[in-house]
Structure 1
Amino acid sequence: MIKIDDKLVEHLLKLSRLTFDDKDRLKNDLQKIINYFEILSEVNTEGLEPMYTPIEEPCILREKEPVEFENIDGIIENFPEKDNRLIKVPGIYG
């Protein structure tokens, strides 16, 4: 059984460059996650094929044909700021 201790929590926080005010809560949450995975590791999976997706039916895609959107004016009307058929959005500042 893996035990999450203060030293491991400090190491993980240092590696992730995160700060956390309630380290005891973090330690308890991490321990719960580890305990859950230990329970899962006890499940007998011998003879089972791995699943790559929970959906077994194939994904049927539509043909790649361009479709013109018909309600452009409806979208433009929903924006609070516009200039004719142009919409104004907030700028991105770096």
Structure 2
Amino acid sequence: MKVDKEKLHKVAHLARLTIKPEEEEQLIKDMGEILEWVDKLSEVDTEGVEPLTHMTQEVNVLRADKAEKTIEREAALKNAPDQDGQFFKVPKVLKRND
């Protein structure tokens, strides 16, 4: 595929990029080289190769999402810099627009 100014500006529009006129020639050259490199992938024999859904065989091991009582409230609040006996107290970070 040949990259020209029209295609460059179309891709830039889709990517919401602003291209300066002095950058056009270099970007056209770079995009052409990228497309040539990607086109080399068509030379690879992929006969009998299953498409991948993930790059590795790793499986994400997650525990069941269930509520458990892991620490007593008093123990959690024991070293809190500021608390009211039931909750951690933190400085306000958001303003109300009332």
Same fold at TM > 0.5 = yes
Give the distance between the partners of 1:10 and 1:86, measured in 2 at CA.
50
CA RMSD of aligned residues (A): 3.1
Amino acid at match of 1:52: T
Give the distance between the partners of 1:57 and 1:10, measured in 2 at CA.
40
1:9 match: 8
What 5-or-longer segments of structure 1 have no aligned partner?
Answer: 77-83
Structure whose CA Rg is larger: 2
Distance 1:24 1:66, change over 3 A: farther
1:18 match: 17
Distance 1:66 1:42, change over 3 A: same
What 5-or-longer segments of structure 2 have no aligned partner?
Answer: 83-87
1:44 match: 45
Distance 1:17 1:59, change over 3 A: closer
Identity across the alignment (%): 28
Tell me the secondary structure at the aligned position of residue 56 of structure 2.
coil
1:31 match: 32
Give the structure with the larger strand fraction: 1
Give the distance between the partners of 1:25 and 1:88, measured in 2 at CA.
50
Give the distance between the partners of 1:3 and 1:27, measured in 2 at CA.
9
How many residue pairs get aligned? The number is 82
Distance 1:54 1:14, change over 3 A: closer
TM-score (normalised: structure 2): 0.60
